[in-house]
């Protein structure tokens, strides 16, 4: 991290994410008849290897001005979202996620457009399995508010400078006339 953007919190992920991902993909393969043989191969070893490596590559860091996230093995996705672009942090807990004692934290940003077809390549982030996700969410929201307060404060300072410039111009204009 840069000196002007120090790291505040590094999220840790629950190792149960590996089991969840392994079974989730196996289920998706079993939904189709063609995928059933692939599901057997997936469960016998390839899936375990993939889930372990995927878990090892998961990374999420909150810094003073950004939220940074990395994931993936073959296709690696790395996102850095400025905190002032974050619109909402949503928890998603379905019955399967609750069974594994996991939750998904969805980060929604301003101007995200419709990137649903690109599965994670838009301006959204989905973080699954963060340990103590409520506190992580609170940290992100508090830091976002601090960034917004600083941004608004500097805007007020800029407004004061502009008012002072306007007054000086009026004085100059009066002296010229």
* Residue pLDDT tens, the chain, 177 long: 455 778 889 999 999 999 999 999 999 999 988 888 888 889 888 999 999 999 999 999 999 899 999 998 888 989 989 988 888 888 888 898 889 999 999 988 876 555 444 444 445 788 899 998 889 999 999 999 988 888 776 666 677 788 888 888 888 888 887
Q: In 72-176, where do the E strands start and end? A: 77-82, 86-92, 104-109, 125-128
pLDDT reported for residue 120:
44
Give the sheet arrangement for strand 66-71, strand by strand: 7-10, 59-63, 66-71, 77-82
Note whether 20 and 128 are within 8 A (CB).
yes
pLDDT reported for residue 147:
87
How far CA 107 is from CA of 102, 103, 125, 157, in Å, comes to 16, 13, 5, 31
Distance separating alpha carbons of residues 168 and 45, to the nearest angstrom = 75
Distance separating alpha carbons of residues 68 and 106, to the nearest angstrom = 14
Distance separating alpha carbons of residues 159 and 137, to the nearest angstrom = 33
pLDDT reported for residue 74:
86
Distance separating alpha carbons of residues 50 and 163, to the nearest angstrom = 60
Contacts of residue 89, defined as CB under 8 A and 6 or more positions apart, other chains included, come to 105, 106, 107, 108, 137, 140, 141
* N-terminal to C-terminal alpha carbon distance within the chain: 56
Distance separating alpha carbons of residues 67 and 140, to the nearest angstrom = 8
pLDDT reported for residue 123:
59
pLDDT reported for residue 163:
83
Note every long-range contact of 145-150, with CB atoms under 8 Å and residues 24 or more positions apart, other chains counting: 147/64, 147/65, 147/83, 147/84, 148/83, 148/84
């Amino acid at each position: 991290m840069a000196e002007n953007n120090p790291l505040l919190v590094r999220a840790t992920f629950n190792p149960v994410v590996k089991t969840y991902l392994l079974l989730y993909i196996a289920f998706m393969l079993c939904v189709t008849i063609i995928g059933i043989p692939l599901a057997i191969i997936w469960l016998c070893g390839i899936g375990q290897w993939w889930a372990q490596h995927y878990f090892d590559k998961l990374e999420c860091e909150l810094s003073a001005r950004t939220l940074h996230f990395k994931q993936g093995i073959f296709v690696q996705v790395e996102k850095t979202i400025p905190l002032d672009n974050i619109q909402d942090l949503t928890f998603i807990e379905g019955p399967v996620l609750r069974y594994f004692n996991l939750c998904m934290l969805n980060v929604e940003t301003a101007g995200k457009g419709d990137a649903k077809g690109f599965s994670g390549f838009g301006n959204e982030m989905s973080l699954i399995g963060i340990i103590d996700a409520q506190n992580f969410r609170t940290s992100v929201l508090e830091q976002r508010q601090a960034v917004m307060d600083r941004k608004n404060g500097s805007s007020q300072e800029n407004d004061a400078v502009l008012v002072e410039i306007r007054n000086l111009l009026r004085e100059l204009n009066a002296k010229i006339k």
